[in-house]
Structure 1
């Protein structure tokens, strides 16, 4: 099988691990990366498109593949202006979904977050919820939304508050059982593995929480 995948956000933590998963998978012959900066990877599978992601529509002719993986996201601390925040967390994934629909790409896997709710009074959760709703409205045949809780791993940025939260969560993780499993901290590699498996094994379900992503990643499929 010679599949082509698109990744948006390959320079990020989870997107970078997803890229590694696809490079190692013999089923993928081409991996198109749409980003603002180049990745530090020389795999012959990679085709890079250095673009303005806020104007993704201008890349329509190159936006062709079997699957799209969208790992785009920012934080309130990193992007304080709410208009720019929404342009990134809502605008880019939605633009990607619309291009996927236009170019007849039948699989779209997007990272959202736990707590996403279009009716929320919390701006972050509301933006994620509105993004999910608009993407689902595109009616792409295989659409999968992943909602991880706090993501572990080491980032390049110096996020003191996040490091403290991760330390606390690592201690609390064993206490999250039953219906609380979705609150467990999850490693980005686990998310990446689950996203790839979702694209390759169609599901009846659309939205997946952290504990479900853990189960998918561990499955033998």
Structure 2
């Protein structure tokens, strides 16, 4: 294959792992990163564009390829305001997706969140659900939505709440059975692996993967 991948959020916990998969893959001859800051990784197939996310439309000609991987996301705490959170977790991904669809990008792969629901009373979960709904409406050839539980991995920043949740759920994960299995913590590398594998299948339609399903994707 001679595919081109596009990634936003390539410096994050899942995005950085996904980038490694893509650079090592013989299925991709070009990997395009759109980021706020230049990424200090050198590879013959890697192209990194430093962009202003508030001017996404200005870079529409860069958004061409086969598989668009959206690993962008923040937290309400880090964003400081609801407005900033929505900008990063809803506005930006949707703008990129709309341009990708216009530019005939074949597949869109999105990291969402466990429990994503546009009708939820939880603002974080509601926003994730609203984004999912909008992405589905674009009708890419393949729309792949990944809903991880608490992510395990080494972050560049320390998140106390998430670390406590990770430790607690890891200790008692054996109690999470049946429908509760999807709440078990998942390695960020496994999420990245699931995204990469599903992008290679050539499937048409809309697919949603919960954490427990991603754990078993090989």
TM-score by length of 1: 0.95
State the match for 1:55 in structure 2.
55
Q: How many residues align?
A: 217
State the match for 2:14 in structure 1.
14
Deviation of 1:187 after TM superposition, in Å, equals: 0.3
Q: Per-residue displacement from partner, 1:158-195 (whole Å, max 9, x unpaired)?
A: 21222222111210122222211111100000000100
Deviation of 1:54 after TM superposition, in Å, equals: 3.1
Deviation of 1:39 after TM superposition, in Å, equals: 2.0
How many angstroms apart in 2 are the aligned matches of 1:139 and 1:205?
Answer: 8
Unaligned runs of 5+ in 2: none
Contact 1:54 1:87 in 2 (8 A): no
Runs of 4 or more, structure 1, over 3 Å off, are none
State the match for 2:171 in structure 1.
171
Deviation of 1:44 after TM superposition, in Å, equals: 1.3
TM-score by length of 2: 0.96
State the match for 1:67 in structure 2.
67
Q: Which moved more, 1:136-145 or 1:201-210?
A: 201-210
How large is the RMSD of aligned CA atoms in angstroms?
1.2
1:1-221 correspondence runs (5 A)? 1-201=1-201, 202=203, 206-216=207-217, 218=218
Deviation of 1:40 after TM superposition, in Å, equals: 2.8
How many angstroms apart in 2 are the aligned matches of 1:101 and 1:204?
Answer: 14
How many angstroms apart in 2 are the aligned matches of 1:119 and 1:89?
Answer: 17
